[in-house]
Amino acid sequence: MVFTKKLRDGVRYGRIQSSIRIWKRPHVKVGGRYPMDEGHIVVDSITQITMKDITDELARESGFDSVKDLLSVAKHGSGDNVYLVRFHYLPPGAVGRGRLISRED
């Protein structure tokens, strides 16, 4: 999973543990480990939701000030399915469950 630079510290320090993604199909798998900086993101759950489910509270939980701010980043491709991805960050050297998945998977 890729995060904008402004979100990475929040992810690393555990303040951000969810992300709204707008894709044609899921690009991550539950239990998958995805490189981020020196550590990894481990996906805990992925749930398909609707645009109406995206609230300001969920936007703030995902590191944004508002739904409008979140959508300005999330709506960049041709996808139209909305997913709520919950995850945690594993710092470098940490041992955790999850299959390491390369960017090509």
Query: How many residues make up the chain in this entry?
Result: 105
What pLDDT score does 104 carry?
44
What pLDDT score does 78 carry?
82
Q: What is the pTM of this model?
A: 0.86
Going from the C-alpha of 102 to that of each of 30, 38, 45, 63, the distances in angstroms are 14, 14, 19, 25
Average pLDDT across each block of 10 residues of the chain; the chain has 105 residues. List them in order.
93 96 94 92 97 96 96 86 96 69 49
The region that residue 12 occupies, defined by phi over 0 for left and psi between -120 and 50 for alpha, beta otherwise, is alpha
What pLDDT score does 99 carry?
54
The runs of H, that is alpha helices, within the chain are 5-12, 56-61, 67-74
What pLDDT score does 98 carry?
53
